[in-house]
């Protein structure tokens, strides 16, 4: 009869233990326009059918073979990414611990006692020795999740685990973008170093020519001093770019987590293969593909689940302590017939007055509001990052064309001024001005070329590209 009552009680608990007090979740509306900004700074020919950046793997986007190998090494060795991966493993373990709270813990335990009782305490009036032995298998204080408290905590742990995984994907995207930017910066500084060395050689030749002309009386001392200033200026720039190249290599090695083989380093920007062209599409909904926004939303869901746990703390909690085994006054009689023993002890705790529980509920509701604000802020930040990259994409090509034209004009001006000086028509001051303009135009062309290539990588990253696999935004 008692066993039937126990079974009935457990069946009833199983039927009604699915109650949940977690508020219904709905994804907040994105606090940004549905479409990207429009205006003179943005391209008008947008490919609405192009795949989103998150659907393009980094190997498909970065076509330069050397850069691909460097990124591969970085993904294996970078310590920040390794820490992010370990955080995912840790979050997975925490979720496993929280999920295990739904199941009872069953332990086997045995004990024995031998006690001498004095005569004035025994029932017979004579001293006696009492022995007791038992072997049991049981569960101690297993909480029945009647109002979903444990399930709420499990859901929170699950969402935090998902958020950590998305944070790892976001760290990978950031790492790939930084490696690409460091690679391109090294290429640009190496090209600028070549330009500075070429300018130094040119000015040194000019100095030697004017020195010979000065020695035979065809040039003034002032011209010799002027060209000397150009030689010294070129020497300064050569030293500056030599230092920048060394620093760029160190920065790239740090990102990669190892020394990059010299044969994988770029020689200049012209040797770097162009990355794949991508489009942001017409809708800002693609921002939902970004791992950092998915991580923020999962933290919002975790805060939402935590409200359910705080609510459940205001309701009764039911716990069971059970055991089954054998007991005997003699060790040899533990497993003989009639030595069976069992224990069933349900317990219910009814909160009557606990102001801490109500304050905890208020805290969880406030935490959810904070999570909503952070989620909305992450979308706004992402929208700005994409808008800035699109503005650069829409104007950089015109800047490059204008800079190329300026460089060609400066080169021709320098050639003509040098010819006029050698023919004695103009002073060397005109040659110096023309050479300065040409050098500045050439360095500007390198800077704009770097800006174009870097912005391509940045646009790919801020649109959510660069993770291991493509991932569409989850539906609420």
Per DSSP, the three-state class of 411 is helix
pLDDT at 2: 47
* Predicted confidence (pLDDT) per residue in 116-174, tens digit: 777 676 667 677 777 676 666 666 666 666 666 777 778 888 888 888 888 888 888 98
Residue positions counted in the chain: 476
How would you class 386 by CB atoms within 10 Å of its CB: exposed for 0-12, middle for 13-18, buried for 19 or more? buried
Burial class (CB in 10 A: 0-12, 13-18, 19+), 103: exposed
Note the pLDDT tens digit of each residue in 382-393.
999 999 999 998
User: For position 101, what pLDDT does the model report?
Assistant: 64
Task: Give pLDDT tens digits for 422-447.
Answer: 787 877 788 888 888 999 999 999 99
Report yes or no: 431 and 417 within 8 Å, Cβ to Cβ.
yes
Q: What is the pLDDT of residues 358-383, one digit of tens each?
A: 777 788 888 888 888 999 999 999 99
Report whether pLDDT(399) > 60.
yes
Q: What is the pTM of this model?
A: 0.80
C-alpha distance from residue 194 to each of 102, 265, 330, 392, 436 (Å): 67, 15, 95, 27, 16
Q: Phi, psi at residue 154, to the nearest 5°?
A: -65, -45
Instruction: Sketch the domain layout of the chain as residue ranges.
Output: 15-102+145-315+356-462, 105-119+126-144+316-350
Q: b/e per residue, 294-327, with b = 16+ CB within 10 A? A: bbbbbbbbbbbbbbbbbbbbebebbebebbebbb
**In the chain, % of residues over pLDDT 70:** 76
**pLDDT band at 193; cut points 50, 70, 90:** very high
Confidence of residue 5 (pLDDT cuts 50, 70, 90): very low
| CATH code for the structural domain at 105-119+126-144+316-350 | 2.20.200.10
pLDDT tens digits, one per residue of 72-122:
999 898 888 888 777 778 777 776 776 666 666 666 666 767 777 776 766
CATH among 3.40.50.300, 1.20.1600.10, 1.10.287.130, 1.10.260.40 for 15-102+145-315+356-462? 1.20.1600.10
> pLDDT at residue 451 above 60?
yes
């Amino acid at each position: 009869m008692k066993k039937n009552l126990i079974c009935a009680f457990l069946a009833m608990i199983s039927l009604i233990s699915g109650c949940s007090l977690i508020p219904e979740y709905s994804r907040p509306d994105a606090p940004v326009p549905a479409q990207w900004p429009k205006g003179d700074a943005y391209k008008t020919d947008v490919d609405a059918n192009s795949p989103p950046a998150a659907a393009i793997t980094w190997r498909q986007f970065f076509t330069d073979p050397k850069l691909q190998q460097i990124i591969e090494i970085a993904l294996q060795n970078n310590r920040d990414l390794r820490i992010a991966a370990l955080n995912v493993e840790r979050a997975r373990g925490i979720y496993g611990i929280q999920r295990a709270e739904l199941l009872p813990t069953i332990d086997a335990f045995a004990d024995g006692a031998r006690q001498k009782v004095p005569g004035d305490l025994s029932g017979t009036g004579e001293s006696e020795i009492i022995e007791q032995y038992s072997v049991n298998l049981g569960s101690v204080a297993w909480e029945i999740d009647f109002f979903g408290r444990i399930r709420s905590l499990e859901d929170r742990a699950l969402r935090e685990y998902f958020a950590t995984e998305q944070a790892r994907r976001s760290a990978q995207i950031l790492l790939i973008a930084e490696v690409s930017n460091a690679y391109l910066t090294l290429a640009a500084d190496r090209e600028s170093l070549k330009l500075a060395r070429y300018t130094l050689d040119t000015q040194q030749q000019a100095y030697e020519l004017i020195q010979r002309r000065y020695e035979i009386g065809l040039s003034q001392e002032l011209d010799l001093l002027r060209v000397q200033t150009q030689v010294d200026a070129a020497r300064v720039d050569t030293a500056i770019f030599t230092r920048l190249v060394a620093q760029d290599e160190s920065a790239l090695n740090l990102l990669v987590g190892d020394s990059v083989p010299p044969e994988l380093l770029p020689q200049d920007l012209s040797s770097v293969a162009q990355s794949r062209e991508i489009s942001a599409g017409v809708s800002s909904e693609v921002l939902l593909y970004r791992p950092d926004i998915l991580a923020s939303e999962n933290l919002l869901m975790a805060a939402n689940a935590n409200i359910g746990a705080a609510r459940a703390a205001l309701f009764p909690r039911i716990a069971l302590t059970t055991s089954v085994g054998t007991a005997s006054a003699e060790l040899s009689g533990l497993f003989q017939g009639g030595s069976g023993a069992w224990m069933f002890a349900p317990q219910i705790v009814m909160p009557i007055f606990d102001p801490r529980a109500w304050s905890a509920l208020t805290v969880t509701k406030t935490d959810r509001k904070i999570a909503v604000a952070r989620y909305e802020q992450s979308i706004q930040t992402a929208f700005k990052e994409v808008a800035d990259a699109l503005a650069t994409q829409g104007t950089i090509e015109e800047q490059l064309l204008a800079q190329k034209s300026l460089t060609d004009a400066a080169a021709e001006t320098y050639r003509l001024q040098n010819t006029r000086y050698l023919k004695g028509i103009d002073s060397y001051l005109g040659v110096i001005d023309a050479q300065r303009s040409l050098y500045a135009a050439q360095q500007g062309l390198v800077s704009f070329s770097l800006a174009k290539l870097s912005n391509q990588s940045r646009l790919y990253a801020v649109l959510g590209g660069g993770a291991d696999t493509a991932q569409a935004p989850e539906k609420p």
